[in-house]
Amino acid sequence: LQRSKPLYSSDDVTVIFVLGGPGAGKGTQCAKLVADYGFKHLSAGDLLREEQDRPGSQFGEMIKDYIREGIIVPMGVTVQLLENAMGATIENEGKRMFLIDGFPRKMDQALVFEKGVCPSRFTLFFHCPEEVMQERLLNRGKTSGRSDDNSESIKKRFKTFIETSMPVVDHFEKEGKVVKVDAVDTPDGVYEVVKQKLKERGI
C-alpha cells in the first residue's frame, strides 16, 4: 500500500470522491451519474458489506462489528478492496472514470489512497442536515436490512462523520478540490445541481 508513486496517474484514470453524511444521498446520486456519464461506481461501504459476507473472508467478523458501531474499518482492508475493484474494472470493462463513494472518510485513508493508488480530481460533497439524514435512514431501515440503519447506530455514524470524516473534506477544501452540493431537495432536484457543477469542473 505504501508506494513512492501512485499506481494510476490522474491523466490516465479519473477519480472523483463522493462524500457526505450517512443518508445524504451519495448512492442515489451516483446511480444517476452512472446512467448518464458512464462512470464506474464503487461504494466503499458496499465493498465492505460484500467482503463481510464472502465465505472464508478473514475480515468478515471485524467488518460486521465496525459497521454496526459506525466506526471506520482499518484502512488497509478498504484501500485494498477499492484497488482490486478498480483493477478489475479497468481490465474487464475498460472504464477509467470512477466515483468512489463513501471514501475516504478518515485522513489516513485519504493520504494513502492519493499517494499510492490515484490522486483524486475533486470531491463531490453532499451537504445535508442531520434531521433530514436521520429521517431518510430510519425510513430506509424499515426495509434495507442494513445492520446500521437503526437509531443507535445512526447516532454513532453521525458522530464518526463529524469527528473523523469532516476533517477529510476540510483537507480537500484547502486544496480547492471540493464541489459542494446541497442535498436536501428531491433526488432529481439535487441531481440537476450536480450536473451543473460537474460541467463547471469540465466533466
- Decide if residue 67 touches ligand UP5 (CB under 6 A): yes
Residue 102 CB, shortest distance to Mg ion, in Å, is 6
Cell of 180: 459542494
E strand or H helix at 42: strand 40-43
Compare residues 6 and 50 and give the one whose CB is closer to Mg ion. 50
- Decide if residue 141 touches ligand UP5 (CB under 6 A): no
Compare residues 116 and 184 and give the one whose CB is closer to Mg ion. 184
Cell of 179: 464541489
**Stretch of 2-10, 44-52, 83-91, 110-118 contacting ligand UP5, by CB under 6 A:** 44-52
**How far is 28 from 183, CA to CA, in rounded Å?**
11
What residues numbered 99-118 form the site for Mg ion, per CB under 5 A? none
- Decide if residue 103 touches ligand UP5 (CB under 6 A): yes
**How far is 20 from 183, CA to CA, in rounded Å?**
9
**How far is 174 from 121, CA to CA, in rounded Å?**
14
Q: Which of 13, 14, 59, 70 binds ligand UP5 (CB under 6 A)?
A: 70
Q: Which of 39, 66, 122, 125 binds ligand UP5 (CB under 6 A)?
A: 66
Q: Which of 13, 14, 25, 168 binds ligand UP5 (CB under 6 A)?
A: 25
- Decide if residue 102 touches ligand UP5 (CB under 6 A): yes
Compare residues 27 and 74 and give the one whose CB is closer to Mg ion. 27
**How far is 163 from 33, CA to CA, in rounded Å?**
29
Which residues have C-beta within 8 Å of that of residue 97, sequence separation ≥ 6? Answer: 13, 14, 16, 37, 38, 39, 40
CB atoms within 10 A of CB 11: 6
Compare residues 106 and 121 and give the one whose CB is closer to ligand UP5. 106
E strand or H helix at 41: strand 40-43
Which residues have C-beta within 8 Å of that of residue 191, sequence separation ≥ 6? Answer: 29, 32
- Binding string, residues 19-38; x marks residues near Mg ion by CB under 5 A: -------xx-----------
- Decide if residue 78 touches ligand UP5 (CB under 6 A): yes
Rule CB under 6 A: which residues touch ligand UP5?
A: 20, 22-28, 43-45, 48, 66-67, 70-73, 78, 102-103, 105, 136, 140, 148, 157, 186-187, 190
